[in-house]
Structure 1
């Protein structure tokens, strides 16, 4: 069905025409985080500041009548999801736009016409790896859900876990250098990359800033320097860089543009956080046939992202590439 996406206001988002400036938002962030007794409050990314409204773009406000694949979403088992929502809300002021459960993902998908959602787990210690992978293995043939698996560097035999998950039908692996405490160029990660490449798995990396850690520096775990080092060793075309390669040093600046990087990038947590002109420049110079639609749900509102994408000024063909064609090719989803 064709849907017209009108300008959509979102709770907790601050706009320039409401009198907000980056400096003012930073002060508010610092106050909130000091109140929460957070040790890294100074210089916190202004992740909830919106640079542009959808109506400022040049698009028609209408998305093509086509599938929509969200390649960057998160969910947890029903019993754990409320704790995650509370943790991010209490410590970082993050709004969850769905319950953070698989049922919540499905409900939002149906409301907005999303065809498939890729679920990205982020275990942070060896104990959590089987908890995530064993839970998600039941959904490898699900019509709505495309689960990815993950490993951590210091677990027992991560290579064997990758081969096990490949046999179970997982199409990809999510790695988060910051939360999982490794640099992309760390030689201890090489066997993990090699196993995923051997299994033809997609490798999706978190890159750049995040709402749950402070402003990043030039030699960050997943900085452009680290991405270069990874691709120099592994020029793997089935790599996805989340967040358009990452906002460095914070969400006030667009990501650095590196069209020479192979593979794909996703749009998670970027649409609206950077100016429309910067977004269009980055996706067109990198190539819209290598850009994947992603939101970072539940920490972003899918409706807001689709609204902005409809108004941002992309052509019908470019929108189809980003919304589903590229993901369909990369993940072999069998979409028409």
Structure 2
């Protein structure tokens, strides 16, 4: 199967003469010329740079037949999705690749052969927690949808909300240190971690920086040192580090620590790092602990599938990354032989 890759990002590739440094320089020049303005849809060149085209690499260009599990997706209720799309498009020049709704996610699954989507909420205040969790609990048994729950760390009784959602059947909890303003090693987070672990939930962390925040702030941090401190206290094997342990740093790639327990997902990272780094990072951490994730709708699922097909993974590695590892973690049926 081949996938039609969308080029609506106006992406910049090395074979067109672009380098990351040139994109950074253009980005700085744009900011200097209009420091108060918002980027146009084709702005923010640093986001649009890719180290390689999707079909570059030593792989066969095909993927094995069978289920595909995208472990890192975002969407919103139909009434809220247009506001989120507009915010990211207008504020950051980000292309949104579907409607940002559950229906949009289902349409993309059907079109691209993806069979399962893990939906990750990121409430950034207490009021949003029930808006996300009550909405998603109605979709716990939808075909192809695996909702995770969310809490805002500084809400009243986050532990109680974790217990409630676990009893309903949620399989995991998404936490975002950058957008939710906490340090992974903050002792005030420990009751949240303990509750999730006691309930057997998958504990998925955003790692690295975010679209509108640096990696480290006065009240938040999900850098390598903070990940290390978390695992020293909670060596939980059902932990997932999103973005291969560190998103958004285009110059200095995250350190990979094979001794860490748990899993990593590929969300946002394919193309934003060189193929050789991706291959080495995944193989050194352990292919059996890597989860295919896209960061939909901010990334083009077709682009990511094309990259997995061409990057240089063996068929056995592709099977593990695309479905088998995630299915084992979530208790889904194994791939039919």
TM > 0.5 fold call: yes
Shift of 1:213: 2.2
Q: SS in structure 1 opposite 2:150? A: coil
In the alignment, does 2:7 pair up with 1:10? yes
Shift of 1:4: 3.6
Tell me: CA distance 1:134–1:32, structure 2 relative to 1, closer, same or farther (3 Å).
Answer: farther
In the alignment, does 2:185 pair up with 1:185? yes
1:105 alignment partner in structure 2 = 105
1:51 alignment partner in structure 2 = 51
The 2-side partners of 1:329 and 1:271 are apart by 23
Tell me: CA distance 1:335–1:106, structure 2 relative to 1, closer, same or farther (3 Å).
Answer: farther
Q: Are 2:121 and 2:132, in contact at CA under 8 Å, matched by a contact in 1?
A: yes
The 1-side partners of 2:91 and 2:22 are apart by 19
In the alignment, does 2:204 pair up with 1:208? no
1:238 alignment partner in structure 2 = 238
Shift of 1:9: 5.2
Tell me: CA distance 1:220–1:274, structure 2 relative to 1, closer, same or farther (3 Å).
Answer: farther
2:281 alignment partner in structure 1 = 282
Q: Are 2:181 and 2:220, in contact at CA under 8 Å, matched by a contact in 1?
A: no
The 1-side partners of 2:293 and 2:147 are apart by 14
Q: Are 2:328 and 2:334, in contact at CA under 8 Å, matched by a contact in 1?
A: no
1:63 alignment partner in structure 2 = 63
The 2-side partners of 1:5 and 1:156 are apart by 45
**Deviation readout 1:232-278 (Å, 9 max, x if unpaired):** 00000000000000147x22332211111100000000011100000
Q: SS in structure 2 opposite 1:55? A: coil
The 2-side partners of 1:100 and 1:227 are apart by 30
1:321 alignment partner in structure 2 = 320
Q: Are 2:23 and 2:45, in contact at CA under 8 Å, matched by a contact in 1?
A: no
The 2-side partners of 1:299 and 1:193 are apart by 28
2:90 alignment partner in structure 1 = 90
**Deviation readout 1:117-139 (Å, 9 max, x if unpaired):** 00000000111111100000011
Q: Are 2:289 and 2:325, in contact at CA under 8 Å, matched by a contact in 1?
A: yes
Shift of 1:335: 4.1
The 1-side partners of 2:95 and 2:30 are apart by 14
Q: Are 2:119 and 2:148, in contact at CA under 8 Å, matched by a contact in 1?
A: yes
Shift of 1:27: 3.0
Show structure 2 runs of 5+ residues with no match.
39-43
Match among 18, 22, 34 for residue 20 of structure 1 = 18
TM normalised by structure 2 equals 0.92
Q: SS in structure 2 opposite 1:173? A: strand
Show structure 1 runs of 5+ residues with no match.
none
Tell me: CA distance 1:114–1:33, structure 2 relative to 1, closer, same or farther (3 Å).
Answer: farther
- The range that moved more, 52-61 or 285-294, is 52-61
Q: Are 1:45 and 1:214, in contact at CA under 8 Å, matched by a contact in 2?
A: no
Point out 4+ residue stretches in structure 1 off by more than 4 angstroms.
31-34
Aligned length: 328
Shift of 1:334: 1.8
Q: SS in structure 2 opposite 1:298? A: coil
In the alignment, does 2:301 pair up with 1:298? no
The 2-side partners of 1:215 and 1:224 are apart by 10
Shift of 1:5: 4.7
Q: Are 2:52 and 2:275, in contact at CA under 8 Å, matched by a contact in 1?
A: yes
**Deviation readout 1:278-309 (Å, 9 max, x if unpaired):** 00000000000000000000000000000011
Shift of 1:38: 6.3
In the alignment, does 2:219 pair up with 1:222? no
The 1-side partners of 2:290 and 2:297 are apart by 20
Q: CA RMSD in A?
A: 2.1
